[in-house]
Amino acid sequence: MNNSVGNTARLLGAGLRALLVLTIVCGVIYPLVVTGIAQVAFSDKANGSEIKSGGKVVGSELIGQTYNLPKKDPNNADEAAQPDLKWFQPRPSNGLGTNTLNTQYQLIISGATNLSGDNEKLIKQVKDAKDAVVKDNSTAGYQVNPADVPADAVTSSGSGLDPQISPAYAKIQVHRVAERNHLDVKQVEKLVTDNTSGRILGFMGEPGVSVLKLNIALKELTQK
């Protein structure tokens, strides 16, 4: 009996030593080496691909933002955000959360709605989003056809931080953005084309328009 207790203790000791050594190798040396290479060779990307506009950092190329009007009452948490239609609008992000733990911070918690295709709540969200896209983007001289509204315009992404919209959704917004900014439709169309990225090597991923880059370019154009 004593012998087997001793053997078990020896074995657990070996296991612990193995874990500690491998923690140093995989949990200290490995991440430090990768961080070293990353910070030397790709420091911009390793630190979040930040973009500047007018000399100030305005976010990351990779992280989606909202472009909403200021709240009428900043202290009212229930007030629904209204989109600032002067700017191109991103996809909905109904799955995003705020942190419930460690509330000394105000972190954005990435995430999806996880609603199923037959969920009444999702059906309503999609319907409402579609109505809003048609209403917001129709101008005096341009009527949005509901059939032209692409799926990404009315659904929330997986992360809630999707930096892109589809070229089709950008196209629908062109007339509205041109009108609100007193620009020519052609000028705005060109901005969209300039900020559209195709599939990598022609087949990887999907074409997309970076909303942040597009709005930065739009801002520069209106301030000229």
Partner 1 sequence: MSPVLAGVLQFLALAVALGLAYRPLGDYMARVYSSDKHLRVEKWIYKAIGANPSTEMRWPAYLRGVLAFSAVSVLFLYLMQRLQGSLPGSLGFVSIPADQAFNTAASFVANTNWQSYSGEQAMGHVVQTGGLAVQNFVSAAVGIAVAVALVRGFARSRTGELGNFWSDLVRGTVRILLPISVIGAVVLVACGAIQNFSGIHEVGQFMGGSQQWNGGAVASQEAIKELGTNGGGYFNANSAHPFENPNGFTNLFEIFLILVIPFALTRTFGKMVGSVKQGYAILATMVTIWVGFTALMMWTEFHHGGPAFDIAGGAMEGKENRFGVGGSSIFAVATTLTSTGAVDAFHSSFTGFGGGITMLGMQLGEIAPGGTGSGLYGMLIMAIIAVFIAGLMVGRTPEYLGKKIGTREIKFAACYILVTPALVLIFTAIAMAMPSTLTSMTNSGAHGFSEVLYAYSSGANNNGSAFAGLNANTPWFNTSIGLAMLLGRFVPMVFVLALAGSLAEQKPIPATAGTLRTEKPLFTGLLVGTVMIVAGLTYFPALALGPLAEGLAS
Return the residues of window 158-217 that contact partner 1 according to CB under 8 A: 158-166, 199-206, 208, 212, 215-216
Size of the site for partner 1 (CB under 8 A): 109
Count Cα atoms within 13 angstroms, Cβ side, for 193: 6
Tell me whether residue 186 or residue 223 sits nearer to partner 1 (CB atom).
Answer: 223
CB of 157 to partner 1, least distance (A): 5
CB of 140 to partner 1, least distance (A): 26
Site for partner 1 in 61-100 (CB under 8 A): 61-68, 84, 87, 91, 95, 97, 99-100
| DSSP letter string, 148-172 | G--GGGTS--SSS---EE-HHHHHH
How far apart CA 219 and CA 224 sit, in angstroms, is 9
- Contact string 20-59 vs partner 1 (x = CB under 8 A): xxxx-xxxx-xx-xxx-xxx-xx--xxxxxx--x--xxxx
Q: Bridge partners of 68?
A: 83
How far apart CA 93 and CA 113 sit, in angstroms, is 8
CB of 42 to partner 1, least distance (A): 5
CB of 175 to partner 1, least distance (A): 20
Count Cα atoms within 13 angstroms, Cβ side, for 41: 6
